[in-house]
Amino acid sequence: MSKTTHFAALSLGLSLLAASCSTTSATVKSTEPVSAYEMAVQSGNAYTLTVLRAGDTMVVPKGQALRDLTHEHEAFLKTMFDESFLLTSGPFVAPRSDTSLRGLFFMDAADPKTAQARTCEDPATKSGVFSMESMSFITNSDLRALPPLERGFRIQRGHDNVVARPFVIVTIPTSTAAKTVISQLGETCVLHGDVVSGSFKGQTLCVMDCTTIGDAQAALAKVTSMVEEFTYHPWISSTSIAELN
């Protein structure tokens, strides 16, 4: 066999070996279990839940400086909403289960790092008044429908002001029992999903169409005896959320 023929045969053999390894690798990879989060990313059901917390109270401005910062914060949120990156948001109100909680955002980002980088551009966060924590969130609800839905409502009203209403966010340790409870709430639960990272990891979050914690507990008491084991967060947000059901 000539050197040229020997080299060609060797090259062919290496190519076949590489192809074989590639095929084997692909086969092995396809048998690996896919996490619920990966499945949600592939199906478009992965979002980011961003929690707004109180920052360093020593740097909170006063008077006109505070009003200016509040205006800049609201303008920043409006820009993200206009881009449909921010899907919906709202402040937590008293009685807060955690006194550091200030607000909750749902963002159109499968990777929470993307959302965190964007929300950290908020002037109120840069100033230290607020801090942000972004977490992976999985839901079957079409949260991307919220911005166009809200814009439609604004056109009907003839103004760009947000019409807000109270809700109660309930967090429940994720389990089959939690899923059963939520499924029995019917239209009272307008949005629910699982938090799979961050400080809320392992919690199923349910947004209830209730005015007060008492209303939410009364609705839950009809389907479960574990009412006292859940955590309740009064929250104000757009009326459009109630249209998801």
Q: How many CA atoms lie within 13 A of 229 on its CB side?
A: 10
Cα 97-133-199 angle, rounded to 5 deg: 55
163-167, 169-173, 180-184, 203-207: range with lowest mean pLDDT: 163-167
Higher-confidence position of 102 and 11: 102
- pLDDT, the chain, mean: 85
pTM of the model: 0.82
Structure tokens at 34: 């896919």
C-alpha dist (Å) from residue 86 to 21, 27, 116, 147, 149: 44, 39, 12, 8, 13
List residues bridging with 207 in a β-sheet: 169, 191
List residues bridging with 91 in a β-sheet: 103
Burial 177-205 (b: 16+ CB within 10 A, else e): ebeebbeebeebbbbbbbbbbbebeebbb
Is 41-243 a CATH 3.30.70.1060 domain?
Answer: yes
* Helices assigned H by DSSP within 85-207: 112-119, 123-126, 146-157, 176-183
Model confidence at 33, pLDDT cuts 50, 70, 90, reads low
Q: How high is the pLDDT of residue 235?
A: 97
List residues bridging with 90 in a β-sheet: 104
Query: Residue 117 pLDDT > 90, yes or no?
Result: yes
Q: Is the previous residue joined to 123 through a cis bond, with omega within 30 degrees of 0?
A: no
Cα 96-98-101 angle, rounded to 5 deg: 80
Domain boundaries, the chain: 41-243
Q: How high is the pLDDT of residue 31?
A: 52
DSSP letters, 36-55, are: HHHHHHHHT-EEEEEEEEE-
Q: How high is the pLDDT of residue 228?
A: 93
DSSP letters, 39-98, are: HHHHHT-EEEEEEEEE--GGG---HHHHHHHHHHHHHHHHHHHHTTSEEEEEEB-SSPSS
Q: How much of the chain, in percent, has pLDDT values that exceed 90?
A: 67
Q: Give 91-112 pLDDT, tens digit per residue.
A: 999 998 888 999 999 999 999 9
Find, among 164, 103, 165, the residue nearest to 134 by Cα. Answer: 103
